[in-house]
Amino acid sequence: MPRVLIVEDDQDVRRAVQLGLRHQGHEVFAVETGEEGLEQLLPFRPDVVVLDLMLPGISGLDVCRRIRDRDQVPIIMVTARGDDIDVVVGLETGADDYVVKPVQARVLDARIRAVLRRQDASLPDGTRPRAETHGELVVDRAGLVVTHRGEPVTLAPSELRLLLTLSASPGQVFSRQQLLEAVWEHSYHGDIRLVDACVKRLRNKLGEGRNPRYVQTVRGFGYRFGTS
């Protein structure tokens, strides 16, 4: 049973989402404020955090940032306004996915399950070696460990899944739509900003500068994993 931590200030919504997700078979713990959410992170040890962006006290974005500072637990943002700037900032802060209110419990459940599958990110390919080396980057597909220049890199689930998907076929160009379907399990017409934000985060963690070595942009088409 996946453990879901809900941070939502409105009481009705909080209780409704709790009810809906329990009905879908999740173990749910709901809190009202960001501070509470951060406090409950260690004791409750959720598998996924559903985080409302509009919170009294510390904002959802701050909560997201603070969670990411110490934990790579998947985070799904709930945006009340669906304001584009909030979505982009939220994604760049480290959220793995987002949904716009009002959202059906069924949809939220599907997103939660998709993001959880990302943690179990090993791709169905038995012929590959356990660990691949791409320049100074070592990707251990079985152990789901990534090291860069000998240092382990901590990656959030979507970042890891994105890296694994891209590096599975070095040199192959993936369109944003393809990546959305493969990594986020969204429809073809999902929000491509998820991809761009995640690529940005991944590049930062791999210490890539203006001319990325590993995750390269292919103008007009999408991204590919560098073969060099």
Phi-psi region of 83 (alpha: psi -120 to 50; beta: other; left: phi over 0): beta
Q: Does 80 bind other proteins (CB under 8 A)?
A: yes
Q: Does 104 bind other proteins (CB under 8 A)?
A: yes
The count of chain residues that interact with other proteins, using the rule CB under 8 A, is: 51
Q: Does 212 bind other proteins (CB under 8 A)?
A: yes
Of the pair 1, 85, the CB lying nearest other proteins is at 85
188: helix, strand or coil: coil
Span interacting with other proteins, options 117-125, 142-150, 155-163, 188-196, rule CB under 8 A = 188-196
Closest approach of Cβ 17 to other proteins, in Å? Answer: 5
Of the candidates 98, 125, 101, 103, the residue with the CA atom closest to the CA atom of residue 114: 98
Tell which positions 164-183 bind other proteins, by CB under 8 A: 175-177
Rounded-to-5 percentages of helix, strand, coil across the chain: 40, 20, 35
Pairing relation of β-strands 27-31 and 3-7? parallel
Direct distance between the N- and C-terminal alpha carbons of the chain, in angstroms, rounded to an integer: 42
Of the pair 21, 153, the CB lying nearest other proteins is at 21
Q: Name the H helices within the chain.
A: 11-23, 34-44, 60-70, 84-93, 105-119, 157-168, 176-179, 193-205
Residue 158 · residue 118 · CB < 8 Å: yes
Span interacting with other proteins, options 31-39, 58-66, 105-113, 141-149, rule CB under 8 A = 105-113
Closest approach of Cβ 193 to other proteins, in Å? Answer: 6
Span interacting with other proteins, options 30-38, 67-75, 99-107, 141-149, rule CB under 8 A = 99-107
Q: Does 102 bind other proteins (CB under 8 A)?
A: yes
Phi-psi region of 120 (alpha: psi -120 to 50; beta: other; left: phi over 0): beta
Of the pair 98, 223, the CB lying nearest other proteins is at 223
Q: Which of 3, 65, 68, 200 binds other proteins (CB under 8 A)?
A: 200
Compute the distance between CA of residue 88 and CA of residue 226 in angstroms, rounded to an integer: 26
Q: Does 134 bind other proteins (CB under 8 A)?
A: no
Compute the distance between CA of residue 165 and CA of residue 206 in angstroms, rounded to an integer: 16
Q: Does 101 bind other proteins (CB under 8 A)?
A: yes
Using CB under 8 A as the criterion, which residues of the chain lie in contact with other proteins when the complex forms? 10, 12-13, 15-17, 19-20, 23-24, 80-84, 100-106, 108, 175-177, 187-193, 196, 199-200, 203, 209-212, 215-223, 226
